[in-house]
Amino acid sequence: MNPRVIESVQGKVFLEALSTGAHLPWIFETLSRVLGKPVGEVDMVRTEEGRPCFPGLGMDVNWSHSRKVCVLAYSFDCKVGVDLEFHRPRSLQIAKRFYAAEENEWLFGAANAFTEAEQLREFYRLWCRKEALFKCAGGAFLGGTLSMNLLTSSTKNISLFDLQGPFEAPHACCLATSSRADSAL
């Protein structure tokens, strides 16, 4: 499978997806193929926040999995964060409690009059933006990224890309990119 290439302001990002439950071996196989040398768990460390990284590879790597599907983002140019969520019934009270006031007005206000399905779709689109931004930039999620207004597709030197995967089930996917020096919120 050829990776999907996203050109961001910060650089080129490659995306690949796999439908399986065993995502970590596939990630190592993919990185080994891309780099032309073996990559394994010994190459991976976790930051204090728990973000996996590969300091000796000269690239940034991030992934997300939902319903046995894994999406992998990697770049030699910039820092990346990716999130994938298949829709499932969920209490929209999460948005009412944690999302920014502008996002709540947009989701629940009379101006849009979203159906319940449309509200769920937009809830997940915003959720994936928040997760991808957090994975890319770090910082605090609860009270930080979660409460940021992400109705626009960029924030503080970080670009957000809403992506559509080749999956039949309703889902949301977002890629966040930043230059390696500008990744802090």
Q: Mean pLDDT: which of 48-57, 109-118, 131-140 is highest?
A: 48-57
What is residue 42's predicted lDDT score, i.e. its pLDDT?
95
Find the largest Cα–Cα distance for the chain.
55
What are the strands, taking DSSP E only, across the chain? 4-8, 11-19, 45-46, 52-53, 60-66, 69-75, 79-86, 154-155, 158-163, 171-178
Would you say 54 and 30 are in contact if contact means Cβ atoms under 8 Å apart?
no
Domains of the chain, start order: 4-182 (3.90.470.20)
pLDDT tens-digit profile of 146-172? 667 778 766 778 889 999 877 888 899
Per-residue confidence at 185, pLDDT binned at 50, 70, 90? very low
Question: d(Cα 143, Cα 146) in Å, to the nearest integer?
Answer: 6
Question: d(Cα 96, Cα 32) in Å, to the nearest integer?
Answer: 43
pTM here is 0.86
What is residue 174's predicted lDDT score, i.e. its pLDDT?
94
DSSP string, 75-111: ESSSEEEEEEEE-----THHHHHHS-HHHHHHHHSTT
